[in-house]
Structure 1
């Protein structure tokens, strides 16, 4: 993986579209000066670079001295943001609200108090309609300041009305803050640890959730309070592997946007994440019909105007849509067909490398490795697993653990006996250190160790015996996480039947399509990498 540039100016320039670059040049030329000519020179130089290299930059641009570079870069950064500010969407509520507050301040400074109040009143109405309570409060605070310093006589009982408005908005913001804090901290716990690993984890998460969930009447909540409440329950259920709770609240999350269509434009990223998690929940429950229905909706969104409104939305859509597309191949057992997605995904990972966080990149590597493993290409699977294993362990320790376990199994499949003894010890130590060893993993390690001394005639009964043991553990809450990362049962069946893993998965999928709907939620895991939840 190439090193990521940490230079903020370089990242900003690389994120610009052609029209934005052209607008910047026109913006600078309006008030050109000697320093402006230098920022244009620096802009052009950085625009041509593939990776940021300060030494190369100074060498190729002798007109820019090293001691000047820091100031010129700071000036260019400010001018770029100013030029972008002028061409951003007029219907962006955040920018509109800031602009109206600026206008109100200008009118106030001119002594035009009534005009300022009129503008603030309009801003309050818009902010309330679009659930932007923070801006509503800023407008109220400004109104209170004007009324306390000047006799405007704008209306009777003005003080009482403003106080009541202020109290109501403060209460909404307080509840929103509490719920958003809870959702964020649960999500952070998941990113660091994955699922609850033992009873201690379960107890700690339950205590944290119950002690931080504020008392509230769901029927009286506004959009944001409901959104963060649903997210809190979503992460809570997912951490505890309560997949029905996870499904129920991801459905509420998406339905909230369907009931408030205008919020899709205001909170597009939250809508995308909701769709992603709902697809993940349906995937985990093998709800293929609903999964396909929402995947079709998501693909339609990806080609819509809203789905391409800015880089952030396009990147999020790329990540979550391709995650769902890979998951569809896992569900259907069409691993080889799924590999056709890989070149385009890798191309976009490189294109977006300055914007994507490592977590999402690691998730793609793991999923791609699972596609290769399921299709029987263990060498390619190992290549992608090495990309995860060789990354510094600072998040998603669960993903690191199961990447190592799948890496071990892939080497076992290749018959790399000289490596296996070392890998067994190494992976076992790592998973123990990360507190990621459950009974399922213990049984797998025992089997692989024992298999070295088994004759070919005894190997098949050993596979069957391991499969029977693991099937008894599938429904256990603290063991199910292992089956969600690895289709270990599918692998064992492939060894017993002497066919590739994808044939086992395909057969199960086709049988499942004939199964009554009431039986379809029975756990039938496929590489359900819990890293899907974001």
Structure 2
């Protein structure tokens, strides 16, 4: 990604509240109203763009002094935004609160306001202990030691200093345990892929004894590793779900930790959804999905982070896929208005990959429900936009679905142009055109120039070319997001 886009992406990541705060923040900055106004004007101009266009920015502000050194102005604007975000998010996390408290400690210590310094240290210590911020706790104890030496006679320091040393030993031991679990988590797949290590996994000292997982973070890593083991090695999804439920219970007993790290809780529930999908336990999934969606309100999270927003979006994607796979197309369509409202609420923070996925899912559900005109409405939202995402696969499937729908509607003239448009897209994309894609294009090209009486023979031929003598893996690649086989079978059966 070009460095020139960094400011654009930062601005586009801001919520409405953050943008409003930034404008007030700049208005109160020293340095002259005209200069600050230039930053606001540049901010607004970039914010109005959907795709970053630096040439358009230069043309818009042609003749302005600041545009002559646009890179300098952009860099300073970037720093201003980050500075305003630091102020806006002073209580973004307990980690951020602790950093602010430690800055206060340092200031008070150097001013020799030791009583106030001790009071702030006690507050920081309680916060760090409650939320298990172990590295910060070591730093807090270092300040306690400095304060003790600065305010006590040497004869009186031994006992409190010994207590600090003992506390730090406990903290360091917990950090050591946590480090071992991180080591296992990071290298888990590599180690479990070796039969010698996988066979001894449950006898390993870090997983045979849960007592070593002595912090909330260590418990998360411990349970995630066990879950992965039972999925990858034992193929025991029931046991994996049991382990997930154990960790859910641990976290729900510590709601403060959920508030501090909501994404870990949501990801855990998301893992459970994945396991239930693998088991095709569709009836148990909606309850977990709603638990994920209700979590921000339950734990009084006012604004979702980008990561948590993606988890929420993922729940809707999963639910649509569940209805698609279970052939409950009407129920999937019934969910669309709710998803539309959610997308509108969080616009423009919704990543393009998710928008593309939703539009395709909507179109496909309408198609499967024999509502082709509604399906076309959503497909056109895909086909008429340059997405510039990593989901070329969905863009490809959207074009093939577009061909099918125009065939279903009898739009043969439109179909002819759609085939050529699809061919151009396949040539331009990064991935090489696959043999099965060429066969599908060839099929629709023949449809465009032959009478309907010949269609049945073309369908039989297409089915043989796409699916006869293919392995299950090859067939699954053809059917990933668009069930060509079911559609072809339907057409063949109508003409028998």
Specify the TM-score bucket, using the shorter chain as the normaliser.
Answer: 0.5 to 0.7
- 1:203 corresponding residue in structure 2: 193
Structure 2: unaligned runs, 5 residues or longer: 409-414, 423-431, 439-459
- 1:59 corresponding residue in structure 2: 59
Q: Distance in 2 between matches of 1:295 and 1:69?
A: 46
- 1:227 corresponding residue in structure 2: 220
The correspondence for 1:255, drawn from 239, 244, 249, is 249
Report deviation, 1:227: 0.9
Q: Distance in 2 between matches of 1:214 and 1:39?
A: 57
Q: Distance in 2 between matches of 1:453 and 1:146?
A: 81
- Change in 2 beyond 3 A, CA 1:283/1:33: same
Report deviation, 1:182: 3.5
Q: Distance in 2 between matches of 1:322 and 1:75?
A: 39
Q: Distance in 2 between matches of 1:362 and 1:329?
A: 18
- Change in 2 beyond 3 A, CA 1:32/1:427: same
Alignment of 1:21-40 (within 5 A): 21-34=19-32, 35-40=35-40
Report deviation, 1:335: 2.3
Q: Distance in 1 between matches of 2:108 and 2:334?
A: 60
- 1:316 corresponding residue in structure 2: 310
Q: Are 1:143 and 2:144 matched, yes or no?
A: yes
CA distances 1:271-299 after superposition (whole Å, capped 9, x unpaired): 11112222222232233443233233334
Q: Is the 8 A contact 1:279 1:294 kept in 2?
A: yes
- 1:161 corresponding residue in structure 2: 163
- Change in 2 beyond 3 A, CA 1:214/1:84: farther
Report deviation, 1:267: 0.7
Structure 1: unaligned runs, 5 residues or longer: 190-199, 429-450, 471-477, 500-534
Report deviation, 1:104: 0.7
Report deviation, 1:206: 7.6
Q: Distance in 1 between matches of 2:68 and 2:306?
A: 34
Q: Is the 8 A contact 1:250 1:281 kept in 2?
A: no
- Change in 2 beyond 3 A, CA 1:82/1:277: same
Q: Distance in 2 between matches of 1:350 and 1:51?
A: 19
- 1:298 corresponding residue in structure 2: 292
Report deviation, 1:102: 0.5
3-state SS of 1:183 partner: helix
Q: Distance in 2 between matches of 1:201 and 1:218?
A: 20
Report deviation, 1:97: 0.6
CA distances 1:307-326 after superposition (whole Å, capped 9, x unpaired): 54234366234323203421
**Count of aligned pairs:** 446
Q: Is the 8 A contact 1:286 1:331 kept in 2?
A: no
3-state SS of 1:122 partner: helix
- Change in 2 beyond 3 A, CA 1:205/1:342: farther
Report deviation, 1:127: 1.1
- Change in 2 beyond 3 A, CA 1:325/1:205: farther
- 1:100 corresponding residue in structure 2: 101
Q: Is the 8 A contact 1:113 1:152 kept in 2?
A: no
Q: Distance in 1 between matches of 2:161 and 2:81?
A: 43
Alignment of 1:470-489 (within 5 A): none
Report deviation, 1:334: 0.9
- 2:182 corresponding residue in structure 1: 180
TM-score by length of 1: 0.63
Q: Is the 8 A contact 2:105 2:120 kept in 1?
A: yes
Report deviation, 1:268: 0.8
Higher relative CO (Cα under 8 Å, sequence separation at least 6) belongs to 1
Report deviation, 1:214: 6.0
Alignment of 1:455-534 (within 5 A): none
3-state SS of 2:255 partner: coil
Aligned-pair Cα RMSD in Å: 5.6
Q: Distance in 2 between matches of 1:47 and 1:391?
A: 18
- 1:48 corresponding residue in structure 2: 48
3-state SS of 2:242 partner: helix
Give the structure with higher Rg (CA). Answer: 2
- Change in 2 beyond 3 A, CA 1:373/1:235: farther
- Change in 2 beyond 3 A, CA 1:454/1:247: closer
Q: Distance in 2 between matches of 1:497 and 1:211?
A: 52
Q: Distance in 1 between matches of 2:482 and 2:243?
A: 26
Q: Distance in 2 between matches of 1:228 and 1:321?
A: 23
Report deviation, 1:160: 2.1
